[in-house]
Amino acid sequence: MPKISKKGHHMPSSPIRKLVPYAEQATKEGKTVYYLNIGQPDIKTPQVALDAITNTTLDILAYSRSEGSETYRQKIADYYAKNDISVNHDDIIVTTGGSEALLFAFGSIMDVDDEIIIPEPFYANYNGFSASSGVKVVPVVSKIEDNFALPPIEDFETLISSKTKAILICNPGNPTGYLYSKDEIKKLAALVKKHDLFLIADEVYREFVYDGVSHYSILQEHGLQEHAIVIDSVSKRYSMCGARIGYLVSKNKTLIATALKFAQARLSPPTLAQIASEAALDTPDSYFKEVNEEYVNRRNTLIRELEKIEGVKVAKPNGAFYCIAQLPIKNSDKFAQWLLEHFSVDNETVMVAPAAGFYSSPNIGLNQIRIAYVLKEERLIKAVNIIAEALKTYKD
């Protein structure tokens, strides 16, 4: 029998999606499932984006340029300018989602067995992208007790070796919702310049920041032009996850030229989705004001309800729409599956994401879950009440 590759064998399963069969079975059994496991917003996609698809006059759905259409990239540059970020359209490559942007970045700056340092917990697919690129993740642990703030910069520096090529952060963070401060970004910037590394920032949640704080992009940091790589996406910003449009942004011309070769190998990003995504850039600022107010209310409701549960510890996020909760259990993988298979309240149950899959270090986060607060407040309250009742009867 032919064998699969070692790379395929070591490719991790998604901690977000691996429980889907159990949720589908629960639904078939007539249960209502509250999905807290995945960052699929229930916010309506801006009408201007939907109208652009409906009103297209194309009679041939042709290839676009490998780097994305020039008009779209110019409008992206204009969007960044409104956010005090100075780039031009030649600094941008449009990709099939932020995922492809990360793969292009990894392929452009790292060879097999090179290393990338990432504060954990981190977006679970960073493990997958690293495995598919043959790259080793070197984790730096951040702690729930510190609200998942940036670990001491000395912790990063001790891990730098001759194989280290980059540091990767998600800002605001998935799965923690932590927003790195300007001071924390400056510390990372000084470190990567000192050791001549790249600093990759996944900034797809840039718009979602709360409590009067501001997002500080690595592209705003002076002197970081050759080191900074930003990963971005329309998925969460405009509630357009299915468009699969992202972009890679850097003022490092060699990096962009190299990433373009990867882009050419896959021909082009999807043409129709680019039309919708370009139109989405005309979304009024009022849209984001309303969305942020909604997420703040959801976050406050979620944290309040979780803190009512004895033995639960939760980090308060000030960005994105996720939080990590630590439960009085031993293994959240087993708990999450048990919820779907064996537990319900009034024939309703909950799907959560076990947090161990957001760590690279073994045996960390085993009693934690990630919750995406992408449901309306009344549904969040119901979902947390189900978790509270489940914890009363669950036995590890």
Residue with tokens 């979602």: 208
The SS3 call for residue 263 is helix
pLDDT of residue 321 exceeding 90, the answer is: yes
Structure confidence by residue, pLDDT tens digits, 142-165: 999 999 999 999 999 999 999 999
Structure confidence by residue, pLDDT tens digits, 232-247: 999 999 999 999 999 9
Residue with tokens 């849209």: 287
Task: Give the count of alpha carbons within 13 A of 358, CB side only.
Answer: 34
Cut 0.85: pTM above it: yes
Instruction: Please give the sequence-ordered ranges of beta strands (E in DSSP) within 130-227, or none if there are none.
Output: 136-141, 164-170, 198-202
218 falls in which pLDDT band (50, 70, 90)?
A: very high
Report the percentage of the chain scoring pLDDT > 70.
100
CA-closest candidate to residue 317, choices 389, 225, 211: 211
- 356, 368 in Cβ contact below 8 A? yes
Domains of the chain: 6-44+286-393 (3.90.1150.10), 61-280 (3.40.640.10)
1 falls in which pLDDT band (50, 70, 90)?
A: very high
The Cα–Cα gap between 171 and 154 comes to: 20
pLDDT of residue 14 exceeding 90, the answer is: no
Q: What integer pLDDT is reported at residue 13 of this predicted model?
A: 79
pLDDT of residue 16 exceeding 80, the answer is: no
Instruction: Decide the pairing of beta strands 228-233 and 246-249.
Output: antiparallel
Mean pLDDT of 131-149: 96
Q: What integer pLDDT is reported at residue 9 of this predicted model?
A: 86
Amino acid present at 357 = G
Structure confidence by residue, pLDDT tens digits, 324-379: 999 999 999 999 999 999 999 999 999 999 999 999 999 999 999 999 999 999 99
pLDDT of residue 15 exceeding 90, the answer is: no
pLDDT of residue 32 exceeding 90, the answer is: yes
CA-closest candidate to residue 358, choices 113, 180, 148: 148
Q: What integer pLDDT is reported at residue 102 of this predicted model?
A: 98
Q: What is the DSSP string of 25-74?
A: HHHHTT-EEEE-SS----SPPPHHHHHHHHT---SS-----TT--HHHHH
C-alpha dihedral, 355 to 357 to 362 to 365, nearest 10°:
0
Q: What integer pLDDT is reported at residue 331 of this predicted model?
A: 97
The mean pLDDT of the chain is 96
6 falls in which pLDDT band (50, 70, 90)?
A: confident
Q: What integer pLDDT is reported at residue 81 of this predicted model?
A: 98
Phi/psi at 110 (5° precision):
-135, 145
- 164, 116 in Cβ contact below 8 A? yes
Mean pLDDT of 166-175: 98
The Cα–Cα gap between 313 and 173 comes to: 18
Mean pLDDT of 255-282: 98
- Which DSSP letter does residue 34 get? E
pLDDT of residue 98 exceeding 90, the answer is: yes
- Write out the two tokens for 362: 């073994």
308 falls in which pLDDT band (50, 70, 90)?
A: very high
Q: What integer pLDDT is reported at residue 10 of this predicted model?
A: 84
CA-closest candidate to residue 76, choices 233, 267, 239: 233
CA-closest candidate to residue 319, choices 171, 200, 188, 168: 171
Q: At 77, which helix (H) or strand (E)?
A: helix 70-82
Q: What integer pLDDT is reported at residue 8 of this predicted model?
A: 87
